[in-house]
Copies of this chain bind each other. A is one copy, B any other.
């Protein structure tokens, strides 16, 4: 009996007066159901709690999301006001609902996305409405029997064609929502049993309510803390660049560290993973950004597509850093003395590569041409060449040493990795991998530099003031002329 009791779950309450009370489970089926229900409730409460906790973290991490929610609430409340003010309601009647609907489906997080949906919705509604009225006119001419057939066939044809257009990538990128609204409006108009005169009235009401809804959305989204898709893309690109620089720094430091503070480094090293996975976000933002009007430092025709190219070149680098990372975490490592030999040169090459990336970050953040990017690229290339040079000179210093046995006795004295007598090439292999990855990364950073320079050309970045912009060229020319 004691055993049975102990295997039961006890619900104990500590009452404030110091005594404690055991809640005895109710006996029989009712009790079991009660316990089961309590369990279920517990799980549900726990899940809801986790979601809430998650939501809290999201809100704290990016307060603009909270602001967006308030903006949606605000826009809906304002559009509701139209209803409570009777005159408008009496004008539009039940169709005033379209204004609410427009606000709900059109209001998006970024200004660009809202514009995209608004413009698509207005144009598609207008086009489909006009076409629908036209076909109604034709159908009415052809008698009562043919009318449903003509209408049915036209709905079938136009809906199929518009649906297919959504599969074409160029249409999908710009007019996906418009195609859907086109089908919707066209079907509604064709199907409505009204006569053409009533139809004009309906079309007028629908267009006006949609106009009210869209203009309200655009006002609210642009006036209260606007989130511009273009700015977000701009921010994402230079943030990714910084993350890449940090990852590279983290990887190389981790590899050549003597005794490390691992936790900080590990977090830093994982930054490249964001870069690997940001393609979809970049593309959707670039799509929305081109709908945005001139804002801040960005014109209407800012070359957003070039950002995608920079993103692609960054991902190219990230692939290499991923491989570099796997070199670092591999079990077989080069002997410490060899690592020390390369440590300086590798750190130098990586720090110059990071300098180039950081300079590019500054170029993008300030939107000004860098005056000394060429110098930094040259420094990086020089450091990489030095590194390759060190690798070239390795055989004379180490291979021969190894084959004559010096190295192995040294390793034995240190008590590391010497016991297995790995062949000399296996000893340098991990280092060779790291070095060759460093070289490859530097090459790919060159690709990023080109992409950013192309952006500077397309977006007509101004030259930075602090440097001496392009003084070399005229001098060279002068020299050449004389």
- Please give, as numbers and ranges, the residues of chain B lying within 8 Å of A322 by CB-CB distance: 319
Do residues A76 and B156 form an inter-chain contact, with CB atoms below 8 A? yes
A164 interface residue per 8 A CB criterion: yes
Known A277-B279, A432-B432, A440-B323: A156·B73 in contact at CB below 8 Å? yes
Q: Which of A12-20, A52-60, A350-358 contacts B (4 or more CB under 8 A)?
A: A52-60
Q: What are 27 A-B contacts with C-beta separation under 8 Å? A: A51-B170, A54-B168, A54-B170, A55-B164, A55-B165, A55-B168, A69-B160, A70-B160, A76-B159, A77-B152, A77-B156, A80-B152, A80-B190, A97-B191, A100-B184, A101-B188, A104-B187, A279-B280, A326-B440, A391-B426, A391-B429, A392-B423, A392-B425, A396-B403, A399-B425, A425-B428, A432-B432
Interface centre among A59, A77, A394 (most CB of B within 10 A): A77
Alpha-carbon separation in the docked complex, A77 to B186 (Å): 12
Q: Complex formed: what's the CA distance from A472 to B309 in Å?
A: 53
Q: Does A136 contact B (CB under 8 A)?
A: no
The interface residues of chain B lying within 8 Å CB-to-CB of A39 are: none
Contact with A66, one of B81, B164, B326, B425 (Cβ below 8 angstroms): B164
Q: Is the CB of A393 within 8 A of B80?
A: no
Q: How far is it, in angstroms, between the C-alpha of A322 and the C-alpha of B444 when the chains are bound?
A: 13
Instruction: Decide if B80 touches A157 in the complex (CB within 8 Å).
Output: no
Residues in B with CB closer than 8 Å to A160 are: 69-70, 72-73
Most buried by B among A80, A190, A396: A80
- Chain multiplicity (copies): 2
What B residues does A437 contact at CB under 8 A?
Answer: 323
* A323: contacting residue among B97, B148, B320, B402, CB under 8 A: B320
Residues of chain A having any CB pair with chain B under 8 Å: 51, 54-55, 58-59, 65-66, 68-70, 72-74, 76-77, 80-81, 83-84, 89, 94, 97, 100-101, 104-105, 148, 151-152, 155-157, 159-161, 163-165, 167-171, 180, 183-184, 187-188, 190-193, 276-277, 279-280, 319-320, 322-323, 326, 388, 391-396, 399-400, 402-403, 422-426, 428-429, 432-433, 436-437, 440
Decide if the interface of chain A is mainly helix, strand, loop or mixed.
helix
Using Cβ atoms and an 8 Å threshold, which residues of chain B touch A388?
426
B188 near A68: Cβ-Cβ < 8 Å: no
B-side contacts of A433, CB under 8 Å: 432-433, 436
- Please indicate the chain B residues that have their CB under 8 angstroms from the CB of A105 in the complex: 180, 184
- Checking B68, B277, B403 against A400 with a beta-carbon cut-off of 8 angstroms, the contacting residue is B403
A326 to B437, CA, bound (A): 11
Q: Give Cα A171 to B65, complex, Å.
A: 15
Nearest CB of chain B from residue A141's CB, rounded to whole Å? 18
Are A425 and B395 touching (Cβ within 8 A)?
yes
Query: A424 vs B391: C-alpha distance in the bound complex, in angstroms?
Result: 10
Q: Which residues does chain B contribute within 8 Å of A101, judged by CB atoms?
A: 184, 188
The 5 closest A-B pairs by CB, nearest first: A73-B160, A73-B156, A69-B160, A392-B423, A280-B280
B167 touches A80 (CB 8 A): no
Contact B425 A187 (CB under 8 A): no
B279 pairs with A167, CB closer than 8 A: no
Across-interface contacts of A163 in B (CB, < 8 A): 68-69, 72-73
Q: How far is the CA of A26 from the CA of B55 in the complex (A)?
A: 69
In angstroms, how far is the closest chain B Cβ from the Cβ of A64? Answer: 10
**A426-B392 contact in complex given A148-B84, A188-B101, A403-B400, C-beta closer than 8 Å:** yes
In contact, A423 and B395 (Cβ under 8 angstroms): yes
In contact, A187 and B76 (Cβ under 8 angstroms): yes
- Assembled-state Cα–Cα distance A46/B69 (Å): 44
Q: How far is the CB of A434 from chain B (nearest CB, A)?
A: 10
- Least CB distance from A35 to B in Å reads 27
